């Protein structure tokens, strides 16, 4: 599959044309998402939160920023009158913990070692990776299943290993290396899911979840 972002740049006669083409491409990717899969993830988060479980999020680089953003939006999206809260933790947030584990043990274990302290049976792990092959993210997904949890993979490119082992997958299908569009859409998924959950709790008679 050809890298569409590079193709858009090569065919653009100006910066403005490139920006328009990029946005159009992201729009195409958004329209091709598996919306039933997104609905199932929203339902999973809602059901697990109602039973007091925790949603953990992991990712590297831009995906770490999305994990942090997603955890923040989940933690704050439930209105006080809803009677439930979303327990959400990004395991990418603590630079002291991450650098200690990476320096003293192995970078592959920066998430799994935290999970062994915090993750409980029935919890959910949302694992975010453009390639789907980040060793520490894949290791976290494997451990979540080992500990009796559920896994959600937000992936791009061809899905990688993470798409194969996750219980729920939202796949942004692109050429390898198209990190920008994939990360754009992963963040959009955060906003779609958390805004839906907030409005669902405000108006519980509407929607499926």
pLDDT the model gives residue 208: 55
pLDDT the model gives residue 80: 83
User: What is the fold of 34-202?
Assistant: Rossmann fold (3.40.50)
Residues of the chain with CATH 3.40.50.10490: 34-202
State mean pLDDT over 160-179. Answer: 97
pLDDT in tens, 2-51: 799 999 999 999 999 999 999 999 999 999 999 999 999 999 999 999 99
pLDDT the model gives residue 2: 76
Q: Give the integer Cα–Cα distance in Å for 69 and 82.
A: 22
pLDDT the model gives residue 171: 98
State mean pLDDT over 115-129. Answer: 98
pLDDT the model gives residue 1: 65
pLDDT the model gives residue 107: 97
pLDDT the model gives residue 79: 86
The residue with greater pLDDT, 82 or 116, is 116
Beta strands 124-129 and 168-171, pairing class: unpaired
Q: Rounded to the nearest 5°, which phi and psi values hold at 170?
A: -115, 110
pLDDT in tens, 44-96: 999 999 999 999 999 999 999 999 999 999 999 988 888 888 999 999 999 99
106-110 long-range contacts (CB < 8 A, ≥24 apart) are 107/135, 107/136, 108/135, 108/136, 108/139, 109/136, 109/139, 110/136
């Amino acid at each position: 599959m050809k890298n569409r972002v590079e193709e858009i740049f090569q065919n653009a006669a100006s910066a403005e044309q490139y920006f328009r083409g990029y946005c159009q491409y992201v729009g195409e990717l958004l329209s091709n998402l598996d919306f039933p899969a997104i609905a199932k993830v929203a339902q999973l988060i809602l059901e697990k939160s109602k039973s007091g479980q925790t949603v953990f999020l992991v990712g590297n680089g831009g995906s770490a920023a999305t994990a942090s953003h997603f955890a923040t939006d989940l933690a704050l999206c439930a209105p006080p009158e809803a009677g439930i809260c979303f327990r959400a933790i990004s395991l990418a947030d603590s630079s002291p913990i991450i650098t200690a584990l990476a320096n003293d043990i192995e970078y592959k274990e920066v998430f799994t070692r935290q999970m062994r302290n915090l993750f409980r049976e029935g919890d959910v792990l949302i694992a975010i990776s453009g390639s789907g092959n980040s060793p520490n993210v894949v290791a976290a997904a494997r451990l979540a299943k080992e500990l009796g949890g559920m896994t959600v993979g937000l992936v791009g490119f061809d899905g990688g290993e993470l798409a194969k082992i996750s219980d729920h997958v939202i796949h942004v299908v692109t050429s390898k290396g198209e990190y920008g569009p994939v990360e754009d859409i992963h963040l959009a998924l955060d906003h779609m899911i958390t805004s839906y959950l907030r409005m669902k709790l405000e108006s519980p008679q509407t929607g499926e979840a």
